[in-house]
Every structure is written in C-alpha cells, then in structure tokens.
Chains A and B, each alone.
Chain A
Amino acid sequence: MGEKITLASQWLESCAGCHMSLLDIDAKIVELLKYVELSSTPITDLKHPPKEGVDVGILSGGIGNEDELEEAKLMRERCKILIAMGDCAVTGGVCTMRNFFTKEEVLRRAYIESESTVDGEIPVHEDLTPLTDMVTGVGDVVPVDIYLPGCPPSAEAIWFVLSELLEGRMPKLEGKVLKYGMDGG
C-alpha cells in the first residue's frame, strides 16, 4: 500500500446504523487510519467533501429530499469511487415505505394525524428542504461504483470493501459479505 487515500462519508435518509457498523470494525479502525485520511464525515468537523476531492466517498441512506439529493451529487462530483453503503443507499430501504403514499399524505400523517400530536400543522419554512416524490437509492440519482447492501452491512463486509480498495482491487461481494437486511445479524 502506498500513499494514504482520502475518504469522505455522509449519511442521507438513514438511521445512522451503517455508520455505527463502520465504527464496529473496532480496532481495525486504527489500522485503517494508517492508510486512510478521513476527510468529511458526519462525526468530524468537516461536513462536506473538500473541493480538491477525495479518493473514496461513502454514502449511507436513501434519497428522500432535495437536500439529500444535493449531498449525493456533491459527493459524486468530489470523489473518485462512490460506495453506496447499506440497504437504504442501495435500494431506498425502509424509507421507501412512504412510496406507497403521496407526499401530502405522508406529511399529514406525520404532523397532523399522528396519535401524539395536538393541533399539529405541516411546517413550511425556507430552511426546510422539500421531500422528493419518491424515496430512491443513491444509484437512482448518481452513478454508484460499489454497492454494499445490508441493514446494516456487517463490519466485516465494510472492512472487506475498504481493504480491497486499499489493495487496489474493485471488491466483488459474495458469500458472507453479501447479505441483505439483517440476515446473518
């Protein structure tokens, strides 16, 4: 392995479980940092990938609003290899449950009809990003190089993908590192 590679990540419409699984690689994260320079991540100060770009970008979560769409496009522009990490990034995942309803129905259910709400209203503000019509996977809005499914993908699968990239190979997922949902969990 040669020079350190740079890595940025972002979570979109996601429960953060995929990033938890990333941290689950445990002590290997120390080894990873020998070869990888962490750039922007949800848990570091830098929130967006730098203009000069990174080698590897990781996106978890689906695309469910305009902001997530912009984040996905930005990451795609600024990384050489884009990984869609987790079932939501790969297929839209659990978030696609709202695709069975219109946006209006979803907002009404959440902000007005939910059992715990009294006198609710649907919030409208210029700072609030509008929902997309449908929740999709990342691959439906920008080209993805590596799909890493799982809810979440196991730490082992994440480590496999990163270590293959460090070795200069495009990872081919099969066997116990190719799992959907909680299978194997």
Chain B
Amino acid sequence: MSEVQLTINGQKVVAQSGQTILEAAQAADIDIPTLCYHPALTAWGACRMCLVEVKGMRGLQTSCTCPVADGMDVQTESDAAVEVRKFVLELLFAERNHYCMFCQMSGDCELQDMAYRYGLDHFTYPRPYDKLPIDASRKYFIMDQNRCILCMRCVRACSEIAANHTLNVRERGSKSMIMADLNVPFGDSTCTECGTCLQVCPTGALIDARSAYGGREKDVTHTETTCMQCSIGCALDVVTRYNRLLRVDGVWDSEPSGGLLCVDGRFKPLYDNRKRVTAPMVRRDGKLVESGWDEALGAVAEQLKSGTSQGLAACATTNETLDAFTKLFSKVNGEAGLLEPVAPALGYGTAAKLSDILEADFVVVAGAQPLDYQRVVGYFIHRAGDNGAQIAVITDSQNKLSERADMTVSYADTDKVVKAAADAEKVVLVYSVGAKGKIEAAFRELGDNLSYLALSPGRNQKGATAEGLKPAEPNGAATQYFLMGEQAEDPALLEKLNGAFTVVQASYISPLVERADVVLPAPVWYERAGHVTNIEGDVKAVNQVLPMPEGVRDDAVVLAALIDLLQ
C-alpha cells in the first residue's frame, strides 16, 4: 500500500493505493450517493448511482469499483454525473412498483432518499403494471419482487456473508428476478432464514413480518447487546418501540461474527410465546401459589440453612449471576455445578477465534453440528470452504456440513483427516463435547499449525467455566436443590430430583417449575443487564433492552439478597 494524492471536488485527498474513489471520498467526508454498494459486501458497480466524472477518463466511472490513482481529478456532482443519476432514478421508478404511499419502508428507503436528493417530483416514464410475485412462504420475512431494484445486495449477502448461495437471479434485462435455488418458493428452498439479506435490502423488497409498519428509523430505539441463544455470543442491535420488540439486526464489524446472525438469534426469540413466570411462588398444601418476594426468599433461606444443598445452573445467564450463584453455594457449603456438559480445551494448539476459520486452509469438524446448534460457526465453515479451504467432517452418524465438505470419515478413520491436514498451514479443529476424547491424540502431531474451537451446548459456558462451575447432576445426597436458569426439558432430571425440596429460578413455566417447591421468576434475555463471555473468551456487555415485568427480579440481585438473608 502506498499513498495516492488525488483531488475530489477541488479538495486534496490522500488515499491508499487499492482504495476505490468511493472509499477515498468517504474517508474524506465527501458524500457520493450509492444504492447497490454496501460496506459489508463486495462492490458491484451495478446501480450507476455512484457515477463520478474523472478528468481525462472516457465516460463516467462507478466510484465504488474504480481504484484511485495518483493525480486523479474527480468531480462527484458534475452536471453530467447528476444528469445520469437522475436518468437512472427515473428508469428505476418506471420499472416496478415504487409507490411509497403503501410501502412499509417509506421514510427509511434508500431509493426514496436518492429520489429526494435529486428532486424527483413525479414519474418521468410510464410504468408497466406487471404483476410480480410476492413470496411469503417463509415465516419471518417476505420477498416482494415489485419493490426490488435488482441491486444484488441480497444475493451477495447470501453468498458472501452467510455462504449459503440460496439466492440468485433468473432471466435477463427487465425480466430479471431474484430467485431461491432453481426458482422454488423461498420457504421450500435451502434458505436458512439467517436474515442477512433482509438487513441489507435498501428498499421494501424484503419485508420483516414482525416489524413492518411498526415504526420508522426516527421512531425506534436501538440497544446493542450480546446474543444469548448459543455459546457464540454475536452482537445484536435490538430495535424497539413503545417497549415492544420490533426486530433484531446484526452489528457490522462487531466481534465475533462481524454482523452475521442466524434464525435462532435474529428471529426465533421474538416469537417466543411460552408462558412467563411473573411472580414468586411457594408450595402450600401441595399447591404452588403466588407469594411475595419476602416470603419466597425467606422460605429458600430457611431451607439453605439446614441440611445439604446443591445448586445446578443452566448457564443462559450473565457472569454476574453465575458469580452470585457460586458465592451462595460456597456460603452454605453446598455443591454448585452446571446442568450442561462442557467441551474441554484441547490441551495443545491455540484457542481459535471465529475469524481463524476464515483464514484456515483446512477445517476439521469432529462431532460438532454447528449448522444446527451454533449456526454462525457453520456459516463461517461454509465461507472457509468458499475461500478454498479443505473441509473434513468426522462423524459416526450424520452431519449437515458433510454436504459441502471435501471428506467425511468415521472416528475410526480420523488418521486419514490428520494425514490430509498434514500439509496445511493453518488448521482449525472444531469439536463437540463427545468428540474430544476420540480425536485428541490423533491431531497432536499437527502441533503449532492447529487451533481449536470447542463447541459446548451451554450458552454462557465460558463464563460458567471461569467461575469454576463444572458439569454436575443431582447428587442424590442433597436435601434441597436450587435449579437456576432456562434449560431444555429433561424428564430424567425431574426423576433425579427424587422428591427433594426444589427451588427453581426460571423465566418460563415448565414441568420443572410446576414440580418446584419455591419458584423465583427470572428475567429473559432482553431484560438482563450484565456481561457474558463469548466463544472467544471475550467478556461482552449484555444490555437491558426492555424493563422486566413487575414481579420479576434480576437473578443476580435475588441471589445477593439470599446471601444477605444467610448472614
């Protein structure tokens, strides 16, 4: 990289060689209009909005793709550039249904912004009234071809960021249409509903079913927080209005996933209709009845003072809560453990960051099923494959990653993978709880070339491990159990509690809650504040997005109150 001097609109600008005119202009705070350009995607040069005049060059140049050169003299708003932009806009408005009055994006639409900027006060050309398809076959978002300007942002997002390659274009010219796979309904396609295309769409072509018409950018509140749906810990931008959840967006350039989310983080939590626990409850005459906090906490403290206690945490909670939990059980000399299993560190090699997957030339997936449980890791592995990395899957059953992997072998043939990876410069080994013991010896010979990512089912597993919490189950000796956090329904766990006095701190009604002797209501992900430790070991803020319902208290505060009662 070397410095390049150029002039933009008469202003001297210093840029780096390899930068585009657009990047140089943006760095110098010079605004060039764009439509198909998106900073998270490769430049496309399709929409012609960013055309600029470069002295000495024939015609106009797309500034998003034209590299800077020393001595360039660029005019971004010359008469010729403005005239062409207006013409392009007039054609775009003539092509499909761009009537703003019944579009949910009106007010936040990039096409509309451009038309305002260039003073379009009416349609110049008559438009055809072709009835283009609207596809609502997916649950969470809708594709309206009538609003599409074929900027290809969605297509690029699907292949470059999600590496899913579902979206493409069929036909040519004015008949061009975004399609899924070989033109099947979106709901029947290979789409994984990660929603990245929805987030990058500049117009109303991709519509979020929940937040459409729910509020314009000027009306809504954004709260950044950390996703707690799996152990990765992607950054979330939660959009709310009137204390209602509208939408979740990814945060570009954030660690660890760079803005990529999955259906579990972006959509599903907004559709959670499970019944909440909204007040403390105690069992009286065999029945769970609502009580005040004082009565419930008093009952728990009384129990903890006598007999032996065991605390079992599902770690979908903050580091602060896990810390208070550990302290409480150390106070009562009880055992504290984790309900989820943990994939232990490898014992050699270095811990991988998510970005290491993209830089690897060999990725091994042993046992782990990230496309089901830590989807963003799965998408990163697909991206690595697209970048040319070899992908090897080790499994004795099935793994969705096999479909695009270079090799899939059984554990018995692990050596074959080690051999294939021997010449690789950078190997990332992704493994699950059960796989570690079966493969750790074989990969040791790869030495310093190897980094690893251990995928555990616990959501804030890294935070729990940092607190010294280890996997445990009801030990049978305790006279009372304290179960904290949201976990998968597990009839075996209920069995193991074996009739002992049970305190459950939970957000939702479940068989476990119904069986409890005391129930303490806990906040859900968007009501919590504190920190979690993400898959890379970084401590990330969890910010409260909406207030807790009356009757619910933060679990860390409740645990601290219990410690006080035991003084």
Contact = CB atoms under 8 A, between A and B. Distances in A.
B129 A134 contact: yes
Contact of B107 (A148, A172, A184): A184
B131 A100 contact: yes
A22 interface: no
Contacts of A173: 119, 121
Contacts, number: 63
A144 B119 CA distance: 16
A180 B112 contact: yes
A87 B131 CA distance: 21
Interface string B83-120: 00000000000000001111100110000100110010
A61 to B, nearest CB: 13
B115 A180 contact: yes
B252 interface: no
Contacts of B100: 87, 151, 180-183
B126 A100 contact: no
A90 to B, nearest CB: 5
Nearest to A152: B101
Contact of A91 (B103, B119, B122): B122
B121 to A, nearest CB: 4
B101 A90 contact: no
A57 B85 CA distance: 32
B129 A180 contact: no
A132 interface: no
A129 interface: no
B103 A181 contact: yes
B101 A151 contact: yes
B242 interface: no
Contact of B101 (A147, A148, A174, A181): A181
A178 B121 contact: yes
Contact of A178 (B102, B119, B129): B119
A87 B101 contact: yes
A147 B121 CA distance: 6
B370 to A, nearest CB: 42
B interface, size bucket: 10 to 19
A164 B116 CA distance: 20
A93 B122 contact: no
A181 B106 contact: yes
B129 A90 contact: no
A65 to B, nearest CB: 17
Contact of B106 (A96, A147, A180): A180
Contacts of B122: 84, 90-91, 137, 139, 144, 147, 149
Contacts of B106: 180-183
A140 interface: yes
Nearest to A100: B131
B102 A94 contact: yes
Nearest to B103: A181
Nearest to A149: B121
Contacts of B116: 174, 178-179
Interface in A160-185: 172-174, 178-184
Given A93-B99, A94-B99, A178-B116, A100 B129 contact: yes
26 contacts: A87-B100, A87-B101, A90-B122, A91-B99, A91-B123, A94-B101, A94-B102, A100-B131, A137-B122, A137-B123, A140-B126, A149-B121, A173-B119, A174-B116, A174-B119, A178-B116, A179-B116, A180-B101, A181-B99, A181-B100, A181-B103, A182-B100, A182-B101, A183-B100, A183-B106, A183-B112
Interface of B: 99-103, 106-107, 112, 115-116, 119, 121-123, 126, 129, 131
Given A100-B129, A149-B122, 19 more contacts: A84-B122, A87-B99, A91-B99, A93-B101, A96-B129, A99-B129, A134-B129, A137-B122, A137-B123, A147-B122, A151-B101, A172-B119, A178-B116, A180-B100, A180-B101, A180-B106, A181-B100, A182-B101, A183-B112
